[in-house]
Chain A
Amino acid sequence: MKKNLWSNGDRIVVFVLSNGSATHKEFCRKLLKVFPRQLESVWYRLVYSGTGERPVSVNSEKEMMSLVANTPGAIGYIQSENLHEEAKIITIK
């Protein structure tokens, strides 16, 4: 959540769904094990101490897919049923 760079030195551009999104809530609770507002507090501290940036908030999973696909160094998340056909899937065990 706090990293700025990929291993090749490129800047990480993080996209997140808005706090009201059910997918964002599920992402926070199940994967990060935090409430969305806790995540936001962490970002506040990063942004205003000059050590990081707040992720870019997007309004829909379609927009997320499009932005991640067209932004170098980007990372985001969607529900699997909204998967873009060109993408590959890696399962985390």
Chain B
Amino acid sequence: MKKQKLLRLNSILFLLFSGPLIADQSEWFQRNNWNAFISQTAVYTSDYNFLSQSDDRLSFDMWEAGLLMSTAVKEKLTFSAQVLGRKVSDASGDDYRVDYAFFSYPFYQTMRDTIGVRLGRIRSSYGLYNETRDIPHTRTSIAMPQSIYFDMTRNSFYSADGIELFGFRDFGDQRLSAQVFLSRPVVDEDETSEVARLNPTNLKGDKSLLAKISYGSEYDGLRTSFTYYRPEYEVDVSFPIGPVAFEDNDSSFYSESMITSFEYNQFDWAVTFEYLRHKFFQRIPSLGNIPGQTADNRGYEEAYYLQGLYRINDQWETYLRYDTTERRKSGTLEDGEKWQDINLGGSFRPNENWLLRAEVHYIEGLARLLSRDNTFSEKQDPYWTAAMFQIAYKW
């Protein structure tokens, strides 16, 4: 028997309906969602190339486009995928890739609890925003805070091939969730060689672990999370020491990130703070046999950003962010590299499809610049500025 209810709150009514299921839930490929977006960004920097060839010129190199889909394959089994094209580095050029393509199945599900598994190329739910960093309409700014969401290793950190166990419990509007993701890291030689300061002749993803726990609401009050992420790689390297060229085919590299995140949301403002402690470790066994060299090199960096966001009205919002990174070293990794970025921006959404953004950055340091797009010298000016403008459209 059918039953209908309406919940009245002031002048708006909630309509509820429940009754015998008419639709056949055993049908294949139901509830299909397709979305797409495209963006074009103009970047000007006083010095250096940042996300484009922008050194003392207005560059239109940076663009992003994505096609996203999800479908209920059968009953509770869903499939989601994204194909992305983008360009943020002149050296790497236009980059097209399947960012993620995974099946998700909640094998235990009630109104309050869900436990499930995902399989395939899965997005790394690193920090609060890694999962949606590429959709302009879900970001706060054009450039993500480089302390946590560095574009130097965007492809390596964005997704990986593996299996993820996830679960959550709802407490009203608050959600407690946990996930463990075991994978083989995606290999991007440009990125890994840049971060590890290696010149790999062969690079292979070995294994990766991501574990995350979070609690709170995405739109009202506090939400907090802790993420642990450790991708490991096997590398063959070739390097000169004096006049002699060395090769080592048994080298390895890993990075270990721990991110603690807090965000407090109210109707028209939000404050976000995320802190990263990032270690990296490389082992080149044959270096241990060379006087003055060590087989193991370690480094770490501490990074955080503090951001205030003000939603002026339905269409306009503005933010102010302090974004900082400091690297320390052991062995050959360089010491004292830093990145301090004070940035201010605003966005305008004339409707739900279009988005216009502008932001300015005052930066001290070079630690988050791509070395493949820049030539660094001893006497470089550590202080520089950037201005960015973006137009984006989504379907």
Contacts and interface: CB of A to CB of B under 8 A. Distances in A.
A90 B23 CA distance: 27
Contacts of B166: 51
Contacts of A86: 4
A89 B8 contact: yes
Interface in B87-106: 100, 102-104, 106
Interface string B1-12: 000111111111
Interface string B32-53: 0101000000000000000000
Given A51-B104, A79-B13, A69 B4 contact: yes
Contact of A87 (B15, B21, B111, B173): B15
A62 interface: no
Judged by DSSP, the binding face of B is strand
A92 B33 contact: no
Nearest to B103: A50
Interface in A43-93: 44-45, 47-51, 53-54, 64-65, 68-69, 71-81, 83, 86-92
3 smallest A-B Cβ distances: which pairs? A50-B104, A19-B352, A68-B15
18 contacts: A4-B114, A6-B18, A8-B18, A33-B219, A35-B311, A37-B314, A40-B137, A42-B219, A44-B137, A48-B80, A50-B70, A51-B168, A68-B16, A73-B21, A74-B16, A87-B13, A87-B15, A90-B7
Interface of B: 4-23, 25, 31, 33, 35, 68, 70, 78-80, 82, 100, 102-104, 106, 109-111, 114, 116, 118, 123, 125, 131-132, 135, 137-138, 166, 168, 170, 173, 175, 218-220, 267, 311, 314, 349, 351-352
Interface of A: 1-11, 18-20, 23, 25-27, 29-42, 44-45, 47-51, 53-54, 64-65, 68-69, 71-81, 83, 86-92
